[in-house]
Structure 1
Amino acid sequence: MGKPIAVMDLGTNTFHLLIAEGDPANPTILFKSTDPVKLGEGGINKGIIQPAAFERGVKAMQQFNEHILKYDVGQIRAIATSALRSAANGQQFIDDVKAKTGISIETINGDEEAGFIYKGVKAGGCLSDKNSLIMDIGGGSIEFIAGNQDGILWKQSFELGAARLMDQFHQIDPITPDAINTLKAYLDERLADLFNAMKAYQIDYLVGSSGAFDTFAEVIEATKGNTTFDIKKIKNYSFNNDELIKTTDYLIQSSHGERASNKSIIPVRVDMIVVSSIATRYIMQKLNITKVMQSTNSLKEGVVADMLG
C-alpha cells in the first residue's frame, strides 16, 4: 500500500482536512479535522477576505500541515471553493499559504465542485436507480446535481451560499416574514436555470450533502431524546417529512439565543442554519419533493474517491 493521501476542502465557513488510504469505495480514514475559519466573515458579499479571517485561514493551514507531516502523506490536494474563487485577495491568500506551508491550493470552479460532491454522495451509498437532486449548501455557493447511481444528469453551482444569504437577508433576529418573502423572491430569480432544467426529469429524492442537513438530523434526533445518535458514525439518514418540516419551522422562527443554546447546532452554523432551512424548504415546495435524505459525504469524500481510484 502506498502512502496516505490528504484532502483539504477550504470552504467559505469551514476548512476540512481528511487523511485517508485504501479502497476508494470504502477508504480508511486515518485523521479528520474541521476548523470553523469563517473565511467569508465580514467580506463575503464585498469580494474580499477580511484581515482577521485571512489570518485564521493561514493559521488553520499551518496546523493542517503539521498533521500532514505527522502521517507522512504522499499526495495532497487542497481545494478552494467559493470564497477564494470570488475574493480579490484570494490569490494573495494562496501565495501566503504556499510560502508558509508549501501547500499548493487549487481553486476549482462551481462545475468541478458539483462533480466532486456527486462523487462523494455516490461513494456514501445515497443514490439509487431513481433520480435524486443533490443539494450542497456551502457558505458561498449552493451546488445542485441531478443524477442517480449511473451518473450525473445535470449540475450547476449558484453563488447563493448561506453566508451570502444571511448577510443580505437575515439582519434582524428572529428573521422577519418580510425578509423571508424577499429571500424567496430572490431565489425565484436566481434559480431559474435549476427550475427550467428540472422540468426534464422526474426527481424522487432531495439528497442534502452534509452541512445544514447534518444539523437537521442532529436536532431531530435530540428532540426525540435519542442520546445514542452520532452523525459521525453514519453515512446517510432518511428524514421523516413531518419531522423535517417541524424542525425547519422551529429553526426559522427561533432566536439567536435559542439556537446558540441548542447543543445539536455547532457554533459556525448557529445563524446560517436559518437561511439554510428557508432554502431547503423552498426547494422542497418548488419541486414538490417530500422524500429527503442526508449524506454525510460531500466534496472532500468525492476528492478522496477520485484520488484513491
Structure 2
Amino acid sequence: MGIYAAIDIGTNTLRLLVANATASDRFTVLHEEQEIVRLGEGLLPSRVLQEAAMRRSVAVLGRFAETARRFRPARIAAVATSAVREARNREAFVAAVLRESGLSVRVIDGNEEARLTLVGVQQGLGLGSSRVLVMDIGGGSTEFIVAAGEAIEAMVSTGLGVVKLTEAHLHHDPPTAGQLEAVERAIAQRVGRLRAELPDLAGTTLIGTAGTPTTLAAIDLGLPVYSAPRVNGHRLSRDRTRSLLQELASIPLTTRRETPSLEPGRADVIIAGTALLVTAMALLAYDECTVSDSGLREGILLDLLRQ
C-alpha cells in the first residue's frame, strides 16, 4: 500500500509516526518520535495560543515534516486537537504551520478525536468486539469513549486536561495538600457527572491511553527507558496508581525529572494526570486500567490507510 505519515498536534505533545502499510489495518513503523512543546501553555482564560508556544510548535512541526518527507510518503496527515480547536487565533497557527512546513493542519472536534483514538487503541491492543471505556487523557481535554469494537456507544469530551488542571490548581513545588485536594475535587465534580452521560458500564474494561497512563505503566514496570511493547497492555491497579500519585506529589520537580521513563517535559503535569486517572477509576468503579501505547496518532494513520 505504501508509506504514510501521521502527526498528532496535542496540547502538550507533538507526535510523529511514519509507517509502511501492508494492509488497511496493518503497518510497520519506519520512524516515530515525539516532543513536548506545551502548545496550550497559558491558553486560558484568554483562549489565545501564546506566541512563544506557537513558535516552539511550528519549529518542531517543520522538523517533523522534513523527517517525514525523507521517507517519500504517499500522504502526510497532521491533526490538531484541544488547544488549537479552542483557540481564538487557531487560523493564525494553522497558517503559520502551512507557511513554514507545508503541512495542512486539520482541526478536529471531540467526536472525531474520540473516533480516531478508538481506531488506534483497537489496533494496538487487538480488542476485537470487547466492550470498553477508553479514557484518553490529553493536555487540554480528556475523552471518555464507550465502545464495542469500533462502534461507539457514547463519547463525552471533558475539559479535564493535564496542562489546564496543573495551571489552575498546582502552584507549589511540590504541591501542597490543599492543592492536591483542590485538583482532585475539580476532577471529581466533572467525572461524577459522567454516569448520567454514559451508558451502563457494567462488564466494560477501562483502557487508558496517552502520556499519563503510558508513563505510569513504565514507572510501575521499573523500566530504565520507555518500551512500547512492555507498556502496551500493562495493567495498572487503582491502589498502585494512588501510591504513585502520593510518591510523585511528595518530591520536587527536579527529582521527578530524574525519574526513569518520565520525560522531563511531562514531570510538571504528571501529578494532575495521575490524580485524574485514579479519581476516575474510583468514581467509575474500576479496580484496574489496561494501558494502550497506541492511540490518536495511530488512529490518524489507520484512517489514512482506509481512505
Do Structure 1 and Structure 2 share a fold, with TM-score over 0.5? yes
Q: 1:150 to 1:48 in 2, by over 3 A?
A: closer
* Aligned mates of 1:68, 1:148 — CA distance in 2: 33
Is residue 252 of structure 2 the alignment partner of residue 255 of structure 1? yes
Q: 1:228 to 1:9 in 2, by over 3 A?
A: closer
Deviates more, 1:124-133 or 1:208-217: 124-133
Report the counterpart of residue 186 of structure 1 in structure 2: 186
Report the counterpart of residue 289 of structure 1 in structure 2: 286
Is residue 228 of structure 2 the alignment partner of residue 231 of structure 1? yes
**1:162-208 per-position Cα deviation (integer Å, ceiling 9, x unaligned):** 00000001012222232233223323433454221346231532211
Report the Cα offset of residue 21 of structure 1: 2.3
Report the Cα offset of residue 150 of structure 1: 5.5
Deviates more, 1:13-22 or 1:271-280: 13-22
**In the alignment, is the contact (CA less than 8 A) between 1:45 and 1:164 conserved in 2?**
no
Report the counterpart of residue 6 of structure 2 in structure 1: 7
**In the alignment, is the contact (CA less than 8 A) between 2:156 and 2:197 conserved in 1?**
no
TM-score by length of structure 1 reads: 0.91
Q: 1:186 to 1:248 in 2, by over 3 A?
A: closer
Report the counterpart of residue 15 of structure 2 in structure 1: 16
**1:95-146 per-position Cα deviation (integer Å, ceiling 9, x unaligned):** 1111222211010001110111111100112535543211111111111111
**1:23-63 per-position Cα deviation (integer Å, ceiling 9, x unaligned):** 24331111112121111123344312222111111111211
* Aligned mates of 2:242, 2:96 — CA distance in 1: 44
Report the counterpart of residue 101 of structure 1 in structure 2: 101
Over 4 Å off, 4+ runs: 226-229
* Aligned mates of 2:59, 2:32 — CA distance in 1: 17
Aligned residues: 305
Identity %: 29
CA RMSD between the two structures: 2.1
* Aligned mates of 2:63, 2:28 — CA distance in 1: 22
Matches within 5 A, 1:1-309: 1-2=1-2, 4-22=3-21, 23-125=23-125, 127=127, 129-149=129-149, 151-198=151-198, 200-222=200-222, 230-231=227-228, 235-309=232-306
Q: Which amino acid aligns with 2:181?
A: N
In structure 1, the residue corresponding to 2:26 is in which secondary structure?
A: coil
Q: 1:183 to 1:235 in 2, by over 3 A?
A: closer
Q: 1:126 to 1:255 in 2, by over 3 A?
A: farther
Tell me which protein shows more strand as a share of its residues.
2
* Aligned mates of 1:131, 1:43 — CA distance in 2: 35
Report the Cα offset of residue 242 of structure 1: 4.1
| Residue segments in structure 2 that go unaligned for 5+ positions in a row | none
| Residue segments in structure 1 that go unaligned for 5+ positions in a row | none
**In the alignment, is the contact (CA less than 8 A) between 2:114 and 2:155 conserved in 1?**
yes
**In the alignment, is the contact (CA less than 8 A) between 1:17 and 1:33 conserved in 2?**
yes
